[in-house]
Structure 1
Amino acid sequence: MRFAFVLLSAAVLASQASADEFTVHSREVDDRKAVIATVEPVHLLAARARIGGTIVRLTVKEGDRIADGAEVATVVDEKLALQMQALDSRIKSQQAQRDQAQIDFDRALELKRRGVGTQMQLDQARTALDVAERTGAAMHSDRDVIMQQTAEGVVHAPGAGRVLTVPVSEGRVVLPGETIATLAEDNYILRLSLPERHARFMRAGDKVLIGARGDQNESKETMRHGKVRLVYPEIQGGRVIADVDVDELGNYFVGERTRVYVTTGKRDTFIVPAGYVYRRAGVNFVRLKNSAEIVVQPGETTPEGVEILSGLVDGDVVTHP
């Protein structure tokens, strides 16, 4: 019984010893590079004037959030009101001519029925009535056009988002197509600009790490994850452009810059669990299986452990300090 207990204790000690040991092997990891990304809206929208005229009401300012279709400004062209008045007078005059043509047609029809009038007179009266009716319809169509132009003086937001710029003011004269306000959609992305030597490593769907915002200390808790949504197929000025999707970028400023860590290739390195590296007198050490202490140079911290840049070779066995 005592012999069996000794064997069991030896087995437990051996398993604990093996659990406190870690064999170092070279492994391939992502080679990440820190670059600067700019916060950009997915779509930059422009609310434009559809008619020329004077801005009589401006309902937005920089920084406002507006809904899709909300009123941005009202543009009034006073000439449209004058054209409407003139056209209304012409429509009344044309209506009187149409009424007279109807009377002439009825008279010619009655005379033809009695056998007094001729077919030519009836045809002329019918033609005159048809011309009067078509002229009146054309004038009403012209009036609808003017009404539509007047209604188009109200400038609506082309989408929901935040107002970035309002380059006009009330009382200013604008031309058709001139920008009244620039809007950024709430859906923001990070836009990267990388040297073209990294273009062959970038793929849509690649994972990236976003550094802490501003002067915050970077750690695994403060860093966020993103995904490359698009790599543009054109290289501009020796740089490749890529867009990165990140959740909840709405509180960032448009144009704000932040650090992003992207994969630019693969490299071989040693990864040791963080608990096996200890620091003394400002120097980092690991303890080998033979109890020797080795000075190491740690590198990037990964979820698997600490990267060791120098001090270890493949096959070293380190123990927990």
Structure 2
Amino acid sequence: MRMRWTMSGAVAAWLLGAVAAHAAATLTVAETRISDEKAVFATVESISVVPARARIGGTVVALKVREGDSVTRGQEIAAIGDDKLTLQMNSLDAQIQALQAQATQAQIDYDRTSGLVERGTLPRTKLDEARTALNVAENNLRAKTAERSVVQQQFKEGQVLSPDDGRVLKKMITVGSVVLQGDPIVTVAQQHYKLRLRVPERHARVLKAGDKIRVDGSEFGDQMAKFGTIDLVYPQIEDGRVVADATVEGLPQYFVGDRLRVLISGGERPAFVIPAKFITTEFGIDYVHLGEPGKTMAVPVQRGREHPTQEMPDGLEILSGLRPGDRLVQP
């Protein structure tokens, strides 16, 4: 009984798989609205190009990046040295040592005076004078130590840090250059890129934020097209063109300023779009198969241009030969 039940389950599973395969191999033709795509050029731009600036003045003693290098936020890009800071640090160290000796002597004097006052040898006013001298010595030591911390912080600010993750576009200086506080050392393009489109002004009325765009896969050495969305349409026309920014997910690492061919929507129209796998070509004529699995009829069709979408990567427009409701079978 157990063996018979197992065989029945296997047969049922096979039948379900066959039904699913047949269902997946058929398609009911329906008219849909597609975008009338127009080809334009877009430029790869960084979302923001920011300079890494010097925080102190001095001489560049080390430069640790070059054009094209990838950097992360907070990474050291260059080092700036200033001989005056070293001299100030040495001077402050000597002064601190002197003040430490004064504070130690003031503590000794205070302890001695306190003992003599307790025995009645000296008046209490002497104890107040010793306490004041000790406080002054300790405050002078703290002030000079804080001043040394300021100079030490200036030493740390000699490190030029990357303001964000990205790539180095251009170096402004070389090792040995003298820079002032706030001078740019390198410019860093943030790692997230966008496409800047320049569209003829006749498309200004139909171009809007949220429209989909398509980048041909051949632009980046891939078979699959990439899709994006227009984020912003600038309200000013420059040289007869409308400027718009678009975001494309998975955009590879390009040179900033690289030009790509992008397809945008120039309006909508009705059309038939089917997967390319439903078309066969014999003797130069394209056919689709109508009917049911196992009983089909070949019908010639006229193919149009490719129209891939995110849902149908191999979408192909059919100009003639199909009607709404036709049932296609994959050959």
- What TM-score do the two structures reach when normalised by structure 2? 0.68
Unaligned runs of 5+ in 1: 1-21, 287-295
- Correspondence 1:86-105 to 2 at 5 A: 86-105=91-110
What is the alpha-carbon distance in structure 1 between the residues aligned to residue 274 and residue 94 of structure 2?
91
Change (3 A) 1:186 1:233: closer
Aligned residue pair count: 274
Offset of residue 195 of structure 1: 6.2
The equivalent of 1:249 in structure 2 is 252
The residue identity in structure 2 corresponding to 1:265 is G
Q: Which moved more, 1:92-101 or 1:55-64?
A: 92-101
- What TM-score do the two structures reach when normalised by structure 1? 0.69
What is the alpha-carbon distance in structure 1 between the residues aligned to residue 41 and residue 50 of structure 2?
25
CA contact (8 A) 2:196 2:243 kept: no
The equivalent of 2:261 in structure 1 is 259
- Correspondence 1:3-18 to 2 at 5 A: none
> Within the alignment, does 1:202 sit opposite 2:208 as a pair?
yes
Change (3 A) 1:215 1:42: closer
The equivalent of 2:158 in structure 1 is 153
SS in 2 for 1:255: coil
SS in 2 for 1:171: coil
The residue identity in structure 1 corresponding to 2:235 is I
What is the alpha-carbon distance in structure 1 between the residues aligned to residue 264 and residue 47 of structure 2?
20
Change (3 A) 1:65 1:76: same
Q: Which moved more, 1:140-149 or 1:114-123?
A: 114-123
The residue identity in structure 1 corresponding to 2:179 is V
- Correspondence 1:160-199 to 2 at 5 A: 160-194=165-199, 198=204
> Within the alignment, does 1:225 sit opposite 2:231 as a pair?
no
Offset of residue 93 of structure 1: 2.2
Offset of residue 159 of structure 1: 4.0
What is the alpha-carbon distance in structure 2 between the residues aligned to residue 215 and residue 234 of structure 1?
27
- Correspondence 1:273-288 to 2 at 5 A: none
CA contact (8 A) 1:212 1:259 kept: no
Offset of residue 110 of structure 1: 2.0
Aligned residue among 56, 62, 71 for 2:67: 62
Change (3 A) 1:313 1:227: closer
CA contact (8 A) 2:38 2:264 kept: yes
What is the alpha-carbon distance in structure 2 between the residues aligned to residue 76 and residue 109 of structure 1?
49
CA contact (8 A) 1:40 1:190 kept: yes
The equivalent of 2:14 in structure 1 is none
Offset of residue 57 of structure 1: 1.4
After superposition, the CA RMSD in angstroms is: 3.8
Offset of residue 35 of structure 1: 2.1
What is the alpha-carbon distance in structure 2 between the residues aligned to residue 47 and residue 26 of structure 1?
55
What is the alpha-carbon distance in structure 2 between the residues aligned to residue 269 and residue 109 of structure 1?
103
Q: Tell me the percent identity.
A: 38
Offset of residue 240 of structure 1: 4.8
> Within the alignment, does 1:126 sit opposite 2:137 as a pair?
no
SS in 1 for 2:189: strand
What is the alpha-carbon distance in structure 2 between the residues aligned to residue 56 and residue 128 of structure 1?
45
Partner deviation per Cα, 1:111-144 (whole Å, 9 max, x = no partner):
3212232332222221221121011011111111
Partner deviation per Cα, 1:121-172 (whole Å, 9 max, x = no partner):
2222212211210110111111111112112212233344332111100111
What is the alpha-carbon distance in structure 1 between the residues aligned to residue 130 and residue 205 of structure 2?
79
Partner deviation per Cα, 1:224-251 (whole Å, 9 max, x = no partner):
22222x623752446353221231411x
- Correspondence 1:106-117 to 2 at 5 A: 106-117=111-122
The equivalent of 1:235 in structure 2 is 235
What is the alpha-carbon distance in structure 1 between the residues aligned to residue 191 and residue 74 of structure 2?
15
Offset of residue 210 of structure 1: 0.4
SS in 2 for 1:129: helix
CA contact (8 A) 1:40 1:255 kept: yes
What is the alpha-carbon distance in structure 2 between the residues aligned to residue 207 and residue 271 of structure 1?
17
What is the alpha-carbon distance in structure 2 between the residues aligned to residue 272 and residue 262 of structure 1?
20
Change (3 A) 1:272 1:247: closer
The residue identity in structure 2 corresponding to 1:124 is E
The equivalent of 1:5 in structure 2 is none
Change (3 A) 1:255 1:268: same
The residue identity in structure 2 corresponding to 1:257 is R
Partner deviation per Cα, 1:36-83 (whole Å, 9 max, x = no partner):
211123443432222111001112221233455443211001110111
Offset of residue 191 of structure 1: 2.7
Change (3 A) 1:133 1:271: closer
CA contact (8 A) 1:195 1:240 kept: no
What is the alpha-carbon distance in structure 1 between the residues aligned to residue 286 and residue 71 of structure 2?
58
